[in-house]
Chains A and B, each alone.
Chain A
Amino acid sequence: MRLRSYASIAAGILLPLTLACSGSSSSSTTAPSKPAKTLTYTDPAGTGWRLVKDASSTSTRIVLDLVGPSGTKTRGVGFNLQAEPKAKFGTFANGLPINDTGVYQLLSAAADPNEPIALVGGVKPGNVLSVGIYQKDRAQPAQDSGAPLCQIAVELDPSKGLESGDHLALSVVKAKVIPEDIGSASDDLYTLNQKMRMADITIATGSLSAK
């Protein structure tokens, strides 16, 4: 799974380079580089798991909502999103690179604002954003995944040398959800163990470009 994902990233990176080389061979001069000033994002097609642009995005910060297929109920989701080094993952007011949209029940019934919540994120080597959001304990009911479940952000960072026209490949290299059926504590241990396994999903990404 991971090997296949990396291969697809490599293809995504190689393609623009090839185009650039063929373009330069037809001209005796190279056009001066132009620092990028804005980011644009085009949503992917389809109704499955996907990252779509949120209305709160600005010209230099693209906020992406994770949306799932309507009618599919889940209890949490985690994924790893790899981006080119020139892309910078942004953070939210919580200090994390992931933001809760309120669909999943992160607090217990007591709703103690100080209790630990399973909202976690970081940027691993290779510019891999790793984020997850999971419901509080097992007692909470599964939620419909057709609404924005969480948010991530990509920002324009002038220090990274991004140029106008650059295409920033995004690729989800791992993604899993906690499905609705996780078994019951009253199930026999074998059945329960079988049900306590995450389900793989594929998250589609759109096209991210700099201008």
Chain B
Amino acid sequence: MTGEKHTTVARRIIPCLDVRDGQVVKGVQFRDHRVMGDIIELAARYRDEGADELVFYDITASPEGRSVDVDWVRRVSETIDIPFCVAGGIRSVESAALVLSQGADKISINTPALERPGLINELVKAFGSQCVVIGVDSIADGGRHTVRSHTGTPDAMKTPGRETLDWLKEVVDRGAGEVVLNCMSADGTRAGYDIGQLSLAREVLPIPLVASGGAGTVEHFVTVFNQADVDAALAATVFHSGQIPIPGLKQSLAEAGIEVRPC
């Protein structure tokens, strides 16, 4: 039974579901959120369409200083049989344990890691690197890239004064298992992923890198895998709206020679 082509790990397609008050919403450049549908219905739809993983981002959690409501996490875990990550409002080992105990496979932290980087080490020690994803919101700022925190609501957004690449190196040193790099200038524009910034991030990241922000066409996905060598591509609007169906996207990626899991 040997001798068949033995592939390597597939590039992942990850729909991101921004959650607010139990509904999936989507805004443009983090503003003006519109309701897109019910969490469980959308999660089941993406599972059926062949999504490789889901990210649920509780956008109300972090700016308002509260943690995620975990009941929907359990309902998602009961419903779907693909991995999912929960982001937003996790600011301690205890709140992470609560989300993981309801069935989330990974937790993603962003603002709390910037406020207290030692939290990354604590989470890695408690749950292992494979559970700990760092979300990074980054803006091209002249010739530099700098991070933003508290991005869930525009009024709360802050600029902690860190260079993105320095921060990425630090989270690796602290044991993070994966990075989702959201290029905010591209987010919601559907003008394509920020290939330049993602390529720079790739050079400093030995761990999996997930591209986020800017997906608008199938070609954008082909380009981000081929040119920025990311491990996964995350998108929201183009999937929620049905503009890019995942089976067709994966077919196109396979035809372009990119390894994907068949739907």
B and A form one assembly: no
Q: Report which B residues bind A (CB closer than 8 A).
A: none
Q: Report which A residues bind B (CB closer than 8 A).
A: none
